[in-house]
Amino acid sequence: MQAANLIDLDDVVHHAGGKPILSVAHLSLPPGRHGLLLGPSGSGKTTLLHALAGLLVPDRGRLSLLGHDLRAIGDAGRDRLRADHVGIVFQQLHLIHAVSIADNLRLARGMAGKAPDEKGLKALLIRVGLADRMNALPADLSQGERQRVAVARALVNQPALLLADEPTSALDDATCDGVIDLLLEQAALSGATLLVATHDRRLMSRLPVLLELAKPMERAA
């Protein structure tokens, strides 16, 4: 059965160190509707992304991905769901520096338990303009090239949902535009729905705000 929404979320609350760090009343995201999770630092954007990716289980609330209740399916189920349907671009990129960029992508398939797909991998590297650097180590690339590797890695398993955490923070306007163009273009080519968590209000001109989060104190106020 095909779920109507990629994401359905109701009354999700999460705490850390006894303090609330995330509180979301409702969020639904149908496939293909790219958007922003906007909020200042500390408002719980990353926590929400992690919850959507099944990397953490919120203390309470209902959270489903592609119709799967993330609270109910257990650790292994969340790992499987993430491997099959979610790609993540981290703020710090977190490429694996011990291996080449092609191996970063191969590893992403391997870790997701998927068979190697050299043809698909090369096509993806051509798409992000790195086909000629595929054997380079991440340390040998520019920041922009690394960003492209991170996006390619997030898309190598053809996820339904592409999550990007603060992809444009500390970038100048031109670079910021380049990154969001890259994300939108690659998400479109892969058929993935892009959800960007950011505090960068410049992106509001490029993507609709699906949810605006506030800091817990502001919420209390």
Partner 1 sequence: MNMLGLSLAYLRRRPLTTGLNLLLLALGVALIAFLLLLERGLENRLSRDVAGIDMVVGAKGSPLQLVLSAVMQVDVPTGNVPLAAVEELRRNPLVRQAIPVAMGDSFGTYRILGTEPAYIAHYGGQVVTGRMFEGPMEAVLGAEVAASSGLGLDGALVGSHGLTAGGEAHADMPYRVVGILARTGTVLDRLVLTPVSSVWAVHDHHHPEDKAPPTTGDHADGKAHEHGAGEGHDHEHAHHHDPDHQHDHDHDHDHDHKHDHDDGDGAAGQASSDDREVTAILVRYATPLAAARLPREINSQTSMQAASPAAEMLRLRALMGVGLDAMRLLGLVLVLAAGLSTFVALANALQERQYDLAVMRALGAGRGRIMGQILTEAMLVALAGTVLGIALAHAGVAALSGFSARARDLGLSAGQFSVGEVWLLGLSLLVALLAAAVPAIRAYRTDVSRLLAKG
13 counts as binding partner 1 under rule CB under 8 A:
no
C-alpha 156/C-alpha 150 separation (Å) is: 10
Task: Please pick, from the candidates 3, 13, 55, 73, the single residue that binds partner 1 as defined by CB under 8 A.
Answer: 55
Residues from 24 through 53 that contact partner 1 (CB under 8 A): 46-47, 50, 53
Sheet holding 86-89, edge to edge: 86-89, 161-165, 193-198, 35-38, 209-212
Task: CB nearer to partner 1: give 14 or 127.
Answer: 14
Count of positions on this chain that bind partner 1 (CB under 8 A)? 34
C-alpha 42/C-alpha 25 separation (Å) is: 17
Task: Please pick, from the candidates 27, 36, 65, 82, the single residue that binds partner 1 as defined by CB under 8 A.
Answer: 82
CA dihedral over 27, 5, 8, 22, signed as positive or negative: negative
Backbone torsion region of residue 94, taken as left when φ is above 0, otherwise alpha when ψ lies between -120 and 50, otherwise beta: left
CB 82 within 8 A of CB 57: no
Distance of closest approach, residue 97 Cβ to partner 1, in angstroms: 8
Determine which helix (DSSP H) or strand (DSSP E) holds 188, and give its type and residue range: helix 173-190
74 counts as binding partner 1 under rule CB under 8 A:
no
Task: CB nearer to partner 1: give 113 or 208.
Answer: 113
- The site string for partner 1 over 146-165 (x = CB under 8 A, - otherwise) reads -------x---x--------
Binding site for partner 1 (CB under 8 A): 16, 46-47, 50, 53, 55-56, 75-76, 79-80, 82-84, 86, 88, 90-92, 94, 96-99, 103, 106-108, 110-113, 153, 157
